[in-house]
Structure 1
């Protein structure tokens, strides 16, 4: 029994020595993990609050659009980008606000709003922002700037629209050969997208328009 007691005491002494050497590290590690868990929970709560507030603002923006309250739309869009820019509602709302700004004749604000979405939006929203921004620049005869926006590579859904608008810009610049190539690229993308299960491409209104633009350039496909 005495031998057992001695062995047990030795184990206790070893445990004490080990704790003296590593105890502080373990304590700090556990504390850090606890802080991380609390921080993560707090961040999730904060994100939830942000999303809820942004959703309410987005709803208010939609109502302002229905009422055709341009100033209110602009104000809400600014608040979305300034306070809730990390939420999905900000780029959606700002893209909608840009349409209102442009239609009301405020191209400068529309450009700024579209540029924000192009920089902060994701996926198709970003692609749409670049496309619309290029369209505004075409209207303003800022052709080189428009082409820079169209250099952004979009997803397949907007490939034809990008190529068509690029053709429009090149026509405006008097670059007919390059415009013809862009329209053919757009037509190819459009017909590829509209093919049915049999592999036959139908003549959609967009395809018909592209054929007309090519005919006008003397380059029917």
Structure 2
């Protein structure tokens, strides 16, 4: 770094530097401030969009709760308009539930499969695998249902997965494998209260 003997030399050096670099500094400041305000505007826009999506999701789910599968068109419209956000996956879950209750298993399966492909949330993915297995079992696709359950690796699901696997295997007619699955479920921390009854029935 250069050393300056007098204050005048320092001032002249600053003037010279400013002549050479002043425009770049101003431009940088403008860009920097523009970026700052642009980022804040972007964040505000994202927040507003999320709040709007949340409100629309709440309305769609309420319509579904009040009108069942007859509100399908409204919920599907919400899903189609919000496919890039997780609210659409949650809406698909709710719509699939209503479709199952209405006996529309094929439509429910399609909804759940789309949601499974769209979600980025590991916890939601486990819920989807579980419900897909249940729907496939209702359709008589027992092997496919068991395979679907195998996708759930979260240990906190251990008991529920093993019990549902037992239910599916029992419906398939494989009582020995069902008993083994129920026994496995019983050893998990999330075993259901009805599990012992199922084991007792098979032991008779």
Q: What's the TM-score, normalizing by structure 1?
A: 0.71
Asked if the contact 1:118/1:130 (under 8 Å) is kept, the reply is: yes
Asked if the contact 1:81/1:94 (under 8 Å) is kept, the reply is: yes
Equivalenced residue count is: 200
Q: Which runs of 5+ in 2 are unaligned?
A: none
Q: CA deviation at 1:21?
A: 5.8
Instruction: Tell me the secondary structure at the aligned position of residue 151 of structure 2.
Output: coil
1:206 aligns to 2:194 (yes or no): yes
Q: Distance in 1 between the 2:21 and 2:148 partners?
A: 58
Partner of 1:110: 108
Provide the alpha-carbon RMSD of the alignment: 3.2
Partner of 1:168: 167
Q: Distance in 1 between the 2:179 and 2:22 partners?
A: 75
Q: Distance in 2 between the 1:66 and 1:54 partners?
A: 18
Asked if the contact 2:142/2:168 (under 8 Å) is kept, the reply is: yes
Q: Cα distance 1:106–1:26, how it changes in 2: closer, same or farther (>3 A)?
A: farther
Partner of 2:82: 84
Asked if the contact 2:157/2:190 (under 8 Å) is kept, the reply is: no
Q: Give the 5 Å matches for 1:52-201.
A: 52-72=51-71, 74-119=72-117, 120=119, 122-153=121-152, 155-172=154-171, 178-189=177-188, 192-193=189-190
Q: Cα distance 1:10–1:54, how it changes in 2: closer, same or farther (>3 A)?
A: same
Partner of 1:12: 11
Q: What's the TM-score, normalizing by structure 2?
A: 0.75
Q: Which runs of 5+ in 1 are unaligned?
A: 195-203, 217-221
Partner of 1:40: 39
Q: Distance in 2 between the 1:22 and 1:151 partners?
A: 64
Q: Cα distance 1:10–1:93, how it changes in 2: closer, same or farther (>3 A)?
A: same
- Residue range with higher mean Cα deviation, 207-216 or 46-55: 207-216
Q: Which runs of 4+ in 1 moved over 6 A?
A: none
